[in-house]
Structure 1
């Protein structure tokens, strides 16, 4: 039994998963790996924008700081009167200066301290510390350099101040105060507040995991962020040095330290050539986005699991009818083997194809049986075997088998083909069934072409019938005309194709299904009146006129010649006389029925003669009904062939074999007589007369059986007896000659001729 593998669902469920779940998984993974890159780039861009905003804000503050310094340079409080006398002795002027410096300090949040330096007396004036005289010569020289600068406004990146209060940044904005003659009388020094600068940097590193600081052009620190001291940690110093290695050029780069990637941005402040450096861990930049992406990936994974579960249940539900169908087909199927590659769908397909094949075979067999039943019913109907059915029942059965029998009349034509042995090229002897089958097909094609309501019945013996059904109201003359027209066309086609003699018998038109057989009988009767000299005939009993009585012409003389040839076993002579008999009978009896009766008469005469002879033909011994066989043959040439093959040749052969056996028995008896009566006068003729055969036949048979002729055999026997007497007795030669049936003189002569020596010499030479 066939083994099947019922795991198609489990093997191919992955396809369902791929179709339903894989797109979602691809989208989720793509969002994660592609989206993160895009988001990182977007975050970096936003980070740059944020830095740009802070940069612009610082630039604006520095610009405002410069503007404020420029405005205060022309403040009336800062004039040449400050050079007159000792400022410390002018409290009102000093108070006004301190108030002005405080106002100047508060005018911008970046100003940590506003200091006035006067060249006269080396004075430093500030709100927090008041008036201070520079004692250190080096410090004084540094402040003096500010006055010698070409620009009235400058950024002082290396200020040295003796002031101690809140000086956290070594960077200041210096504005020179011009005196009356154009010579500078001092400078206004605006020290920047480190904490305020850190406030600008704080948004760039709010959690302290990165760095944000400002360095000078040479890389020295301006501020390191919100550290209270200017001491730096390792990360600050490492990134500062990395930025210095990059030349402190504005731009971005990635710096990896201890497995952490930092996004480093370097920018420049145009007014004082400061460099701001911001380094932020990429994970901090992208952590919110990655979190969202991971959440999306998680939700996608949850959706993927849900899709897998739903696909599983949906697939099982979809697969349930298949499983049920497999269960229906699974009877008598063993458990599948591991190596079996077939699955349930292949199994169903195989079973389904098998069912289709079986259905088609069954349908073909049913159709074949239906056709056989139809043909069998029609054959019984036309032969009159259904006489026990009523007319209504017969028409119902005809309707059941596919005929429209309502209000129909019926007719039959019978087609017979003869002289198959004379058909040149088409069919040979033994092809009777093939020839009939071909004729039936041709007839069926012609009926189909003419759209006749008819059926062909094949009798397989070079004859076939056509069963026609016509409307009952159609006139008989029109029906006959149609039958004759179709018969004529059919004869022409069959004659051209088979090259045989074609005869058609037309049956009468009947209006009752019970009388259909009569139409066939009438067609058969019509065929008996076939003219033997014509090859194509249409016979209708209605058109056959009564024949006037003619003298019987039967070749009795030739009949006797045939019988005599058979008695003596002359096969060629008997066949030749049989051919003469057929020709004579055909000339005297032109109608088939008369010719057939003449042939039956010949058969009877031959059988009578053979019975009288005491030898039976093998055909008679087999119990065959020879008269029935001959009656079934309609063609004269076929009758001649049948008589030759069935009667003449077997009888002559049997007669020959019987004669040979009889002659063998006679020869055996003759040899026994020779041995018993060799000493008496015995001859071939006397033996032939004794056993009732001719001397010629006996001599021929004796030669065939013994290998020698009668005289030689007799001489040999007599001489053997004479030699025996010569050796064992003392009888005289003459006496021995008489004892073996010879005259003395002839005995001596024949003995010497055969033995080569005389009898006396033979006795002398023979041992006693």
Structure 2
């Protein structure tokens, strides 16, 4: 009995330990749970969007393939009709046909009748799948076929033989013994009152081979429709019902576009069509939407399978990675003596509370750490570690994005004065730091100060708001330096020398300001009466200057292109820039002489006479002899630039024909590009308005009209010699299709299609 009780106690102890272990690993299970969420959600989103993109791309490619197929079918139909129509036009001006047309059908002599009928029969035999050729006489209301002569009163004419159709169009006719498409021309040709109609009749089976040769979707129906939307011929698979077909045809009838596609979920039908530009016929394709869903189901299945595999693999990786990531936490818990009594919180919460205690300890030593970091920053330790420096600035609560400046205070030999002794060095620097902190607090600024014992100096750092202008910050830094000197002389009773660096836009560049302040202190030997040594003042060298080459080059470029307004604007910017610099008299003259020389060099391609005239203006003497900068500026504006523009105008006028020839050559070489006045002017380095005037003067023609005329002439050639679609020809001459149609009609009074038809007739 006692042994059994001991076993129960052991089992309960093990169960308790296992439960405690599971409870103590709550954070581990959180890692796994969050990891699974972070894997499952992205995989599901990616799978969904991948499915949508894949289906959309496949549907787009499928639609395009169908359009290509329909276009090819329609082209073959057009080719068949065009061949028959051209053969028919061969008889329009035949002398026997013309003679017969001018005579009443009843008055035609036997010989002429035999000759005409023989030619009709020959034409019938020469055309594949031809039902026949007929000649209808208006006055006698009789029809001469290739194999018989029929009067309108004959009953068989209506049911067994086709009639003539509207002039210039293909018409579909059916009867008890025929199904044909008919093309008719009026005779005599070009007559306002036709006396006869010559027609060719093609069997419906002429198009059966075209449909028979295609290899397409088993469930698709293909239709050939004439201009009245009558189905000439169809290849059907039995999948599309009659009501669906009517719905598709109704949509095509009401759609003005030459090609389009519609998916009608209500009718379970996808309808596509292409209309011929030559004949106006339609090739239409109708497919049940339900038959297209099979590939979508396959994609869904594959997507789901791949997603499940990815989620499974992700779960396994998350488990092992979480276990590896948890290992250091578990080790840390063991090192910190994590006990069951601490398990009221999960592991990370318990460690975070311990970390907060550590941060409190760090905060107590924050001033010393902050000072140590600043000393390292000024010493160049973080010169190539900007990101690390910024992170430490945030950690030490330094305004890393503020402007800043460094001041270095050298108290000199303060022991000469009665207030302090040599051993009081630390006390002196502490007093300087206290005065500095009080001054910046009155100025509502932030700052730091620390002592550099090895240099017997105090380093003072001031931080300015980032939106403060540099000049304002510079003035405040000088005022702060003056107040500091006055306060030290008043309270500590000895003078100091202060080096002032330059304003820096961010804290990461504080070292540069510090080095400048230290360098400025080196000028005490020659500036012993100046307590404040500003680096930018003591280092200023009046013999050095920065010449604005970019502005100078732009002025020369605008000058050569004849752009007076841009030259004036650029010169104003140039003058304002150099006026803002504190240069000497000699430096100002040197800069303006460089600009004068640059403008002369800009005309090196001009004639020797022009260059000689420019050099003889004695600009060097004028610039060197002027008393004031304003005089030189006025000479540039009123005399020099005006003379340069006169030279440019004279040179351009003398080379006007060469320039216009270059323009015409450029346009002819690049007909497929845009030819705006601005673009072409840049090609010949002229101002657009000047080129427009020069073009009209040399050619007597407006530039825009000339470009349009050249492009339309090229388009005419392509309309006459090729079967390219209109939009392709528009691209060849650098127009959009809409712009091309408008420009072409404005110049020719015809649309491109009308012009092509008229030329070929």
Q: What range is the shorter-chain TM-score in?
A: 0.3 to 0.5
TM-score (norm 1): 0.34
TM-score (norm 2): 0.35
Bigger CA radius of gyration: 1
Asked which structure has the greater RCO (Cα within 8 Å, sep 6+), the reply is 1
